[in-house]
Structure 1
Amino acid sequence: MGYIEDLRALIGHQPIILNGSCGIITNHIGKVLLQQRCEPQERWGLVGGLMEMGESTKQTLIREAKEETGLDLRNQSLHLFDIYSGGTLSVAANGDEFYSVTTVYVVPNIVGAPHITDQESLGFDWFDPTNLPDNMVPRYRHILSDWQNQGRNF
């Protein structure tokens, strides 16, 4: 079991703060890599996940990208874009309650093809940031909108 599962075994569904990282991963023509997850509702989102004990936010993104896409970001430039926190209480499908703190990095000019390496993913695709899929996680749409409004730095 991982950190979150161990913690949930102790505290049940009560609210906690979850820390995670995600990446605005772009290719050489400026398209953004999105992951279509199995849950919830097969929606599209940025690659990333929750922090494990002892990890930095960069290490979290590097690990999650490798686990989910097979892409190795260890030698890539990861530029801090923003940290998203606060907001409303979220409730997972299983009843777990949480607030999230998400560190977002921009990872430009990735070369390579992502592929499914776990049971979390249905697929991956590169999208023009001005033409995102309809079935997208709202917070990730918001992050990409902020990134576009700030001039798509990096």
Structure 2
Amino acid sequence: MFRNLIFDWSGTLVDDLPPVLDATNQVLGVYGIPPLDREEFRLRFRLPYREFYAEVLPEVPLEELEVHFRRAFSGSAEKVTVLPFAREKLEWCRQRGVRCFVLTSMDSDAFHSQLEEFGLGSYFEATYSGVLDKREVILELVAKHGLVPAETAFVGDMTHDVETAHHAQLTAVAVLTGYTHAGALALSRPHLTVQDLDGLRRLMERPGERQRPVATVGALIEDDEGRVLMVKTHKWGHRWGIPGGKIERGESSAAALVREVREETGLEIDDPVFVMVQDCIDSTEFERPEHFLLLNYVARRTSGEVKLNDEAQEFRWLTPEEALELDLNQPTRTLIEEVLGGSES
């Protein structure tokens, strides 16, 4: 699928978010700024990191901040670790002759120290570190090493990585193991999004699979008062929608609906009534380009209290009319309008 892979480092191959967050909060503390928690940091941090600091500490020179950060990072008690599947993915590439590179904004001394500590250096043909704006280097990297853009992907965890790939006309692969939430990554329009590097390995082993439409089920769930359940999820750019998911092989759509609702909300349902099927092809609202066939139902809650899994962050019980006032993903809006139109007739 790809003959060349250019990897970001932090959040893509190694998990350095704990010490980076710790060091960032130490820097903020020097100037009397309250610390950020992990999720707030992930929502606000971005590359080039000078833009992040221009927002939180606009009056302080970047050179001064870098001195504080390097000192805090080197002294942090938090540890950097290799992300799951990273070493396996690099070994997989070596066995198949896939050329690998690193392009990272990390301080060069810290990067080379980690590269040696984790024993990953032999996997890369060349590495580029200390690059504040990767768009300024990516074209040079591609030209210097004779990489064909159509055969090359840039793999990273932040919107700047996706933008860098687009800048060089490479395939942008977003990985959800690092600094940026899936919803924000989706807005930068990566060509592919994978949960982790094992997902990229499986995708490269079976490149044709992602071209097939994916059949899914979802339900507008009603309670005894006629309200419907809305859930907010990062997969749809932090918009509101309905519970649902993919139909597994050998599973009926009705069984899939019961299972997905139970897994995502803890609710039991019955009386599912089919409403409509929707094509959802490369929606800009979803976290990655994908072709879904959405089988939409209405169903009634029979038991249970809502307990969300990690796919959703918030829920509300609302009348359908109230639900239409939310920032809904378009398929959910279409479904509710169809249900309301049918009830009026």
Flag whether TM exceeds 0.5 (same fold).
Answer: yes
Cross-structure match for 2:235: 39
Cα offset, 1:108, TM superposition: 2.6
Instruction: Extract unaligned runs of 5+ from structure 1.
Output: none
| Equivalent in 122, 131, 134 of residue 322 of structure 2 | 131
Cross-structure match for 1:16: 212
CA deviation profile, 1:30-73 (whole Å, cap 9, x unmatched): 11111111333221101111111111111111111111001123
Cross-structure match for 1:143: 335
Contact 1:25 1:110 in 2 (8 A): no
Change (3 A) 1:44 1:110: farther
Q: Does 1:82 align with 2:276?
A: yes
Structure 2 counterpart of 1:28, which letter?
A: D
SS in 1 for 2:334: helix
TM-score (norm 2): 0.38
Contact 2:278 2:331 in 1 (8 A): no
Segment drifting more, 30-39 vs 140-149: 30-39
CA deviation profile, 1:124-154 (whole Å, cap 9, x unmatched): 211111112432111111111011001179x
By percentage of residues, which structure has more helix? 2
Q: Distance in 2 between matches of 1:81 and 1:103?
A: 8
Cα offset, 1:98, TM superposition: 2.7
Give RMSD over aligned pairs.
Answer: 2.6
By percentage of residues, which structure has more strand? 1
Cross-structure match for 1:66: 262
SS in 2 for 1:78: strand
> Percent of aligned pairs with the same residue?
22
Change (3 A) 1:44 1:151: same
Structure index of larger Rg: 2
Segment drifting more, 103-112 vs 6-15: 6-15
- Large movers: runs of 4+ above 6 Å: none
Contact 1:28 1:111 in 2 (8 A): no
Cross-structure match for 1:120: 311
Instruction: Extract unaligned runs of 5+ from structure 2.
Output: 1-198
Larger RCO: 1 or 2 (CA < 8 Å, sep 6+): 1
